[in-house]
Amino acid sequence: MSWKSQKRGVTLLETLIYIALLVVILPPLVMSLIRVTREVGLLDIRSRINTTSSLVISELTLGVTEASQVKVSLSTFGSSPSTLVFLDAVGQTVTIDRPTLTVTLPGGDQTIHRLRMTRGTAPAFFLTDPDLDVLSWQVDPVRNSASVLTGLRFHFDVATMNQSTVDPYQNARFVSDTTIDLQPQTTEN
């Protein structure tokens, strides 16, 4: 072996070819990684909104179908925000409302709305996540031809708290219209 064949290194031309290949390959690769990261974030937000909304509908279905009495005189129907008051299966008064809360964020205070449930004298608890905003909450009575209350129609609209008009990946929303039938033994007052 000669000394020249053992000491051969990378030439300037080879280095320029490698750099040119990197310039061509890296930008699409980086953009793909950014897009995948955003889509995963959006899927996480949408999954949380769907999970929260499913839990709210499940809680409403369970509570309303077991209700012994819907307190129409204490509830506010047909407006947003509505308030629903009913007696549960054990006779406790249950109230579901949408209070306005102020949360402090790094950019300043923001007003949000959450669904809250109060059962009897127990402390109230929220049905929705703290970083989701309940834009609309409306309860409407469903009556038959004899004007007897037969069900309740729930409309609610849940969205991410910090919606962005610039970045569509920050926008996620769930709108639901659900009607729940009341049991025949449920009365109204």
Q: Residue 145: which residues within 8 A CB-CB, separation 6 or more?
A: none
Query: How high is the pLDDT of residue 163?
Result: 53
The pLDDT score that the predictor gives to residue 43 is: 78
Q: 131 and 161 in contact (C-beta within 8 Å)?
A: yes
Rounded Cα distance, 45 and 50, in Å: 9
Q: Specify the pLDDT at position 169.
A: 45
Domains in the chain: boundaries: 10-188
Per-residue model confidence as pLDDT tens for the chain (189 residues): 455 556 677 889 989 999 999 999 999 999 999 888 878 777 777 888 888 888 999 999 999 999 999 999 899 999 999 999 999 989 999 999 999 998 776 677 788 899 999 999 999 999 998 878 899 999 999 999 999 999 999 999 998 876 555 554 457 788 999 999 999 888 998
Question: What pLDDT does residue 44 have?
Answer: 79
Nearest to 65 by CA among 155, 150, 178, 183: 183
No. of H helices and E strands in the chain?
Answer: 2, 11
Q: Would you state the pLDDT for residue 144?
A: 94
pLDDT at 172: 79
User: What pLDDT, on the 0 to 100 scale, is given for residue 168?
Assistant: 47
Determine the Cα–Cα distance for residues 20 and 138; give it in Å rounded to an integer.
60
pLDDT at site 162: 63
